[in-house]
Structure 1
Amino acid sequence: MRIAICGGTGFIGKALQKHWLNEGHHLLIITRRIPSQATAAKQAQIEYITWEQLDHSPFLLKNLDALVNLAGASLSQRWTTKAKKRIIESRLNTVSAVSKLISQMKNKPAVVIQASAIAIYGTSTNETFEETSITRVMDFPSGVVQEWENAADTIQGVRLVKLRVSVVLGHDGGAYPLMKLPFMLGVGGRIGSGQQWMSWIHITDMVRLIDFCIHHQHIDGPVNAATPYPVTNDQFGRTVAAIYNRPYWFPLPSFLLKAAVGELSLILLQGQRVLPSKPIKYGFEFHYPELKAALQDLK
C-alpha cells in the first residue's frame, strides 16, 4: 500500500512508520521540514514531502491508498493565550490543508484517518462515553476538539475516520514518561481526589487500531482509541507503583497542580470513562486491554 502520514515524525507517527515499513508498505511522510537524517536514511520504502512542496505540487500524493493526519501542537504545555492560539491553529491549518489536497485529487485515497481526541465528550466522574455519545464544549480541550472535528468534516469524497485518541502509553514519547517520573523518584501518589477517570491505550494497540481502520471499509466516523478497561487516577498510580516497586504515598493536591501548570491541570484533575464500542463491534482485539499487562510490557 501507498500511505501518507501527516505528523509522521511524532510519537505515534514514528511507531506507525516502523510498523508499516516492516509490513512492506510505501510511506510518504508529510512534514513542515525534512529531518536532517532523512537523506542518509532514505530508502525505497519511504520519502519525505514538505507542506510547501505539496502546495505547489499536489500530484506528489498521487495513487495513495490511505492518508493519516496526526499533525497538531501538543496540549502538554502551559495554556497561555499564545499557546492556545498555536494549539488551535496547528490543528485547523493541517486539516484545511488535507481537505484542500483531497479535493484536488482526481484519484482520491480510499480512506482518511483524522486524529481527534476523547476530550470532545467533556469530563465526568460518573458518565460513560461511547462513539454515539453526545459531544459538548465544557472547557478549552473540548472546544479545540469540537473545532477540529468540524473542520475535518470538510474532507469530502473519501471514507473519513475521526480517531478520538485517549492517553497513549509508550516509551518513546507521549505522556507516560512524565506520568511515571514521580514514581521513579519515589514521590508518586494520586493527583487530586484520584477518582477521576483515565482512558488510555498502549502504543502497540494504537498503531494496530489505525491499521485496522484502514483495512475495514465499513468503519467510518468517530472511533474511540481507548482500551475497554479505563482506570481511575488512583488505580493508575497504584499500578505504576506496584510494577516498579515504588512507594505510593505522596498525593499531589489540586491547588498545587493548578499553581504549577495553570489551566493545563484540567487534563489531570478531570477525566472521562471512554469505551471503544465501534472497534469492538467490528472485531478489533486489543493486545493490551488491561493496565497491568500494558505497563509490564513497557517496563
Structure 2
Amino acid sequence: MTETSADRIVIAGASGFIGRYLADAFGDAGASVRVIGRDGADASWGDTAAIVDLIDGADLLINLAGKSVNCRYTAANRAEIVRSRVETTRELAEAIRECQNPPSLWINSSTATIYRHAEDRPMTESTGELGDGFSVDVARAWEQEFFDGELPGTRRVALRMAIVLGDGSALLPLIALARMGLGGPQLDGHWFASPARRAAGTFHENRGSAGRQKFSWIHLADVLGIIQFLREHPDIDGPVNLSSPHPSDNRTVMQIIRDVVGMPFGLPAARWMLEIGSAVIKTETELVLKSRWVLPERLTGAGYTFEYPELRPAVRAIVAARK
C-alpha cells in the first residue's frame, strides 16, 4: 500500500473480522484510522455531529456496518438486518452533506447475494440478474440508500462481496467439519415450507444441486488490495463485484478443505440434516445451498491482479496462519 501518515481513513462497522483487518493494515501502513460504531469508537451511531467532525477532511470512508446474516431469519432479526444497513448508510450520507471537505471516496459494503441463484451462467455487473427473496431485498434496499441523492464531492463504490475467506470467516466452521470427518458436500433436497417463511422470502427452494452449487469467494487480502486499487482508479464508481475470477462449487470446496487439513474422507450432509443443524446453531441453509456464481468483470477489466485468484492456495494460507 502507498498510504502515508497524512492519510485519514474512517471505517464504520470495524468490529467484524474484515473491519479489524482493514484497520490494522491501514494503521500499519501509516494512515490515521478512526472508527464509527458502538463501544469504544471515535464516533457513535446517532451522533451525527460527531460523525461529521470525524469524516470532514477524511481521504477515505469505508462502511461495513450491518448485523451478521449468520442467524435465524426471525421477524426481529430480519428487521435488524435491514435497519443496521439502511439507517447507518443514510446517516453517513447525511453527515457527508454537512462536511466542508467531504471524503473523496466512500466505499460501502454490499453483497453478491443480490444476484439470483445461478447454476447456468456467471453474474457480472453488466449481465447479472438480480434475484428475489429476503436477502436480495436487503441488498437492493442497501444499495438504493447508498446511491440515493447527490454527493458532488464524493465518489461512491458499492462492494458486492462474495464470501470473504480469512481468519474469522465462514471458512472456519467448514474446516472444523472437515476435521471431524463431516466435510462432504452439502446437498440440496426437498423440505417443508411454512406459509410464513414463503411470505417472508426466507425459504430456500430446492434446486437439486447435488453439491454443485457455485461458491464465489474472495480472500481477505484481496479485499484490502481492491480497496487500494479503487483509490488509485478514480474512474471506477457504482457497484463492483468482489470475488475471485475463479469461483468453485460446494463439492470442490469441501474436497480442497479436506485435502488441506489431511482428512481422507468426508460424509455428505443431506438437506434434512442441514435444516436440523442450522436450527440448532441458529443460522439458515441458504448460506450453503444458494448457488452464487459471480465474476469480477469490472476489476479484471481495469487490470486488478488478485493476490489469491485460486481457492486451494487461499485455503492453505488460512489454515497455515491459524497453526
Question: So what's the TM-score if we normalise by structure 2?
Answer: 0.85
Q: Which residue of 2 aligns with 1:51?
A: 45
Kept in 1: contact 2:163–2:170 (CA 8 A): yes
Kept in 2: contact 1:198–1:233 (CA 8 A): yes
CA distance in 1, matches of 2:51, 2:112: 34
Structure 1 residue 175 corresponds to structure 2 residue 192: no
Unaligned regions of 5+ residues in structure 2, if any? Answer: 1-6, 188-209
Amino acid at match of 1:5: I
CA distance in 1, matches of 2:156, 2:12: 15
Amino acid at match of 1:160: R
Structure 1 residue 298 corresponds to structure 2 residue 314: no
Aligned pairs for 1:1-299 (under 5 A) are 1-34=7-40, 48-55=42-49, 58-154=52-148, 156-157=151-152, 158-171=154-167, 173-192=168-187, 193-261=210-278, 264-299=284-319
Kept in 1: contact 2:8–2:31 (CA 8 A): yes
Root-mean-square deviation (CA, aligned residues, Å) is 1.6
Question: So what's the TM-score if we normalise by structure 1?
Answer: 0.91
Unaligned regions of 5+ residues in structure 1, if any? Answer: 36-47
CA distance in 1, matches of 2:225, 2:141: 27
| Number of aligned residue pairs | 286
Kept in 2: contact 1:191–1:269 (CA 8 A): yes
SS state of the match for residue 230, structure 2?
helix
- In structure 2, the CA distance between the partners of 1:170 and 1:226, relative to structure 1 (3 Å rule), is same
Report the CA distance between 1:57 and its aligned residue: 6.1
Kept in 2: contact 1:237–1:248 (CA 8 A): no
Kept in 2: contact 1:12–1:207 (CA 8 A): no
Aligned-pair identity in percent equals 29
Amino acid at match of 1:185: M
CA distance in 2, matches of 1:287, 1:137: 30
1:180-235: per-residue Cα shift (whole Å, max 9, x none)?
A: 21012222100012100000011111111122112221111111110000000000
Report the CA distance between 1:134 and its aligned residue: 4.0
Kept in 1: contact 2:44–2:50 (CA 8 A): no
Kept in 1: contact 2:19–2:64 (CA 8 A): yes
Report the CA distance between 1:267 and its aligned residue: 2.0
CA distance in 2, matches of 1:60, 1:73: 23
Pick which of 220-229 and 249-258 moved more.
249-258
1:234-267: per-residue Cα shift (whole Å, max 9, x none)?
A: 0000000001111333110012212332682112
CA distance in 2, matches of 1:142, 1:24: 38
Show structure 1 runs of 4+ deviating over 3 A. Answer: 52-57
CA distance in 2, matches of 1:185, 1:57: 46
Report the CA distance between 1:56 and its aligned residue: 5.2
